[in-house]
Amino acid sequence: MAVKIRISSDSYHIVIAGYRQQLAKAIHQMGVSYSVLTEKPLKTTPPGVHKICVIPFSALSKATKTDDLIRHGLSFKKTPTHVIAGTESGVFPAAVLRTIYDARRSSKALLNRCTDKLAMKNYLKEHNIPMAHFVPHHKDVNTAALTEELGLPVVVKDRKNSGGRNVVITHTEKELGPLLRPGRLYEQFIDAPEGSIESFIHDGQIVFSSITEYHTNKVANIVPAGFSDDEQKRIRAFNDRVVKMLNIKWGLTHLEYYRDKNGLLFGEIALRPPGGYIMELISCAYGFDPWNVFVQLELGIPVQNLPKTPDRICGVVLFHPGAGQVKKVYHPVKSNYPTLARTHIKVNPGDNIKPREGVGESVGHCFFSADTYNQIRADIDRICHDDQSVIELVD
């Protein structure tokens, strides 16, 4: 079993680019000095934080030296030894800071392939990784040509967004037309279940991986997935192939896949912690702190005795009823859902809910934990069917 370590060393100073509460907590518990780089002021001050720097990440796009950072009001009392991206938006600024401070960094090629969907897909397609057919935006692109090449529906994505942000499934040329613009990618729609696999990597080797089942895309996740042993082997082999193809040497990867009837298809891969409470599900299922392990790997510290099999099956359901004013809130109870472990609803009657822009945005969730997959599946099936009644909006 992986054991939390405490370093308590002045030889490290970590900058978190893109704030994640659990990441800050793990670093603090390890006794490591850290600062936070964020685009928006934090609601609460993280424990033990050395400095909080608030700056639009776009301001760092052309920074190449410390003078460029100082010009934007960005400086650290301690020189960063490591920069960790906590969110997708933090991946690029993290790379900038790693270069400027000569902190541990990945190659420019890897960074580009893991932040730009077009570069990622072009590279992996050249290396025979199966995926949905796609078309990049170009000056002569038009709806008629796209629908003829990709069929309908057409999926529209931003090349440098993740977590479902700005992803639109268009069913007609009329819907597609206004969405054509530079910086976008157009994909064939794949009518197949999605999922992900999370991997911890040290010295180029995958030391732990966990397969996540998207019970309901953007709504409910189960860890580990309830797939057959053969299918899990195929997913792990697929993931292994992509990780080696990209030459990823350390850290945490989040690879999304489609379980198409003709075989697995690549979705995308990210060098950062996943959203959707997947890290918490890994902790629940396998009995170790994945945030602590993530930090160790980012610092280059080997991790011993990571479990190969789960202790439990765990699941989460995220609630977001859409934009509007909350009329009524119902709190699910264990008598109705036997595997329910905890419920957290963030809104009350009268509150206004903004539109959901990404998977990471929700106004509440329920956690489930049980000995068997079927127990979890039954409760999540039921609550997903009833989720409209959990948070009711004003008509």
DSSP for 264-313 reads EEEEEEESS--STTHHHHHHHHHSS-HHHHHHHHHTT-------SS-SSE
Q: Which CATH number fits domain 13-105: 3.40.50.300, 3.30.429.10, 3.30.300.30, 3.40.50.20?
A: 3.40.50.20
Does the structure show a pLDDT above 60 at 3?
no
Question: Averaged over 367-391, what is the pLDDT?
Answer: 90
Reply yes or no on domain 109-120+192-306 having CATH 3.30.470.20. yes
Per-domain residue ranges of the chain = 13-105, 109-120+192-306, 133-188, 314-393
Q: Which pTM was predicted? A: 0.92
Question: Averaged over 101-127, what is the pLDDT?
Answer: 87
> Please, which pLDDT band fits residue 115 given cuts at 50, 70 and 90?
confident
d(CA 160, CA 185): 10
Shared fold status for 109-120+192-306 and 133-188:
no
Does the structure show a pLDDT above 80 at 360?
no
Q: Which of 53-62, 146-155, 163-172, 286-295 has the lowest mean pLDDT?
A: 163-172
Cis peptide before 182 (omega within 30 of 0): no
What pLDDT was estimated at residue 114? 82
Q: Which CATH number fits domain 133-188: 3.30.1490, 1.10.3470, 3.30.2020, 1.10.101?
A: 3.30.1490
What pLDDT was estimated at residue 274? 93
- Please provide the average confidence, as pLDDT, over all residues in the chain: 92
> Please, which pLDDT band fits residue 113 given cuts at 50, 70 and 90?
confident
Question: Averaged over 245-262, what is the pLDDT?
Answer: 95
Question: Averaged over 201-208, what is the pLDDT?
Answer: 96
> Helix, strand, or coil here: 381?
helix
> Please, which pLDDT band fits residue 90 given cuts at 50, 70 and 90?
confident
> Please, which pLDDT band fits residue 213 given cuts at 50, 70 and 90?
very high
d(CA 218, CA 224): 17
